[in-house]
Structure 1
Amino acid sequence: MSRFSESERDRIRTQLVEDGSELFARYGFDRTRIKDVTESVGIGTSTFYQFFDSKEALYVAVLHAERERLESRIDEAVSGADTPREEVETMLRTTLREVRSNPLASRLIVEGELQLLYEQLSETERQSIGPDARETELPYASRWAAMDEVRYDDPDLISGLLRSLIFVTRAQDSPIGALAVSEYEAVETALIETIVDGLFVD
């Protein structure tokens, strides 16, 4: 029988995800130990297993929370757009900015770590995190696909097209032909303009 009340359990689980997020972002999955997280939260290592079955399960919960946070930021940014074309451009700029500045967002989107780790979890762990952890369709893709001014009517194709642009962020750190900041920004802007122009029918 757990010695924690329901409100205490909610608080501890939330703190495990929040502190785990900071540690995973700073040190990565391999270098972050369960002990590091539990010490940060102020609980014993054995208590950790009342909340998560493994470090992998915690990391998936962290990445799932990161995806929800990212989608919320995109929603907020896109809500100010006046046209579908501006929505796509805003979504791309917001996503690329997050991927460049946030290690967890990069691991989530570019490395696909959420989907990879999700496959390793038990069905019970998956249900506790959320059944939508492997969704591949981008927000708004279905709505854009239904618009007459959009060239393609397949949401998966639109998602793949826009997601492929995210990989341009790797150009900054490429061991061969790495781009300086100013060069990268020019390339990113040009690619966004090219993708958006090609997505919409004149």
Structure 2
Amino acid sequence: MPKFTEAEKERIRLEMMRTAHQCFIAKGLKNTSIEDITSSVSIAKSSFYIFFESKEMLYLELLAFEGEEIERRVWPKVEEEKDICGAIKAYLHAMASELETNVLTQRLITNLEEYKVVVRKVNPEYSATKTLRSIVPLMEFIKNNKASKKLIHEDIEVIAGVIRAALAMIIHKKDVGEKIYPKVQEILFNAVANELTNNL
């Protein structure tokens, strides 16, 4: 097994993460091989395991990193709003914008199939704490606002499901029509925010 200096390890690890991110987006987890990732840094396939426990753990690490960055950008915008209806709209618009560029998180929000493949191969506790950063704060937000009676009387999971379903519209952008998509999105987000906060 080759020996790397700490500086080499850091450089190789970052380069592998960049390559893996590109491959996972272009080909998906299943169709990305470890060789696809290690060839970018000219190391043997067996050396991959010096840096990552598995391909799935690398995928989760990338998701966690995306989640942290999204969380940092989205929630300040939500917290600026004066009322709950505005906060929900701000969340929907900010998150929709993030999903346009953060494709791994887009898959997590809109289609859980690939995520389920990963979870089957790693510790469930790890996957829950490390990769649901974009979902956990939403659940806390709903829970807190339900407690203060600012949201409709429905289960937290139902309210989160409505919000996630609205975000899933991004995968139908071409079907809706890219020209009218922003207007459709605006009307849908307004309707969701109003419905979740009506009769208050």
TM-score for both structures, normalised by structure 2: 0.78
Q: Which residue of 2 aligns with 1:154?
A: 155
Mark the CA change 1:76 to 1:36 in structure 2 (over 3 Å): closer, same or farther: farther
Distance, in Å, in 1 between the alignment partners of 2:84 and 2:12 is 41
Runs (5+) with no aligned partner, structure 2: none
Runs (5+) with no aligned partner, structure 1: none
Q: Which residue of 1 aligns with 2:63?
A: 63
Identity level (%):
25
1:46 lines up with 2:46 in the alignment: yes
How many angstroms does 1:9 deviate by?
A: 4.7
Conservation of the 8 A alpha-carbon contact between 2:64 and 2:132:
no
What is the number of equivalent residue pairs in this alignment? 196
Conservation of the 8 A alpha-carbon contact between 2:77 and 2:90:
yes
Mark the CA change 1:117 to 1:184 in structure 2 (over 3 Å): closer, same or farther: same
Conservation of the 8 A alpha-carbon contact between 2:61 and 2:130:
no
How many angstroms does 1:8 deviate by?
A: 5.7
How many angstroms does 1:132 deviate by?
A: 4.7
Tell me the amino acid that sits aligned with residue 195 of structure 1.
V
More helix by share: 2
CA RMSD of aligned residues (A): 3.0
Is the deviation greater in 55-64 or in 192-201?
Answer: 55-64
TM-score for both structures, normalised by structure 1: 0.78
Tell me the amino acid that sits aligned with residue 16 of structure 1.
M
Please show how residues 123-142 of structure 1 align to structure 2 within 5 Å. Answer: 123=123, 127=126, 131-133=129-131, 137-139=136-138, 140-142=141-143
Q: Point out 4+ residue stretches in structure 1 off by more than 6 angstroms.
A: none
Q: Which residue of 2 aligns with 1:94?
A: 94
How many angstroms does 1:53 deviate by?
A: 3.6
Distance, in Å, in 2 between the alignment partners of 1:14 and 1:199 is 42
Q: Which residue of 1 aligns with 2:180?
A: 183
Distance, in Å, in 1 between the alignment partners of 2:153 and 2:5 is 52
Distance, in Å, in 2 between the alignment partners of 1:179 and 1:130 is 33
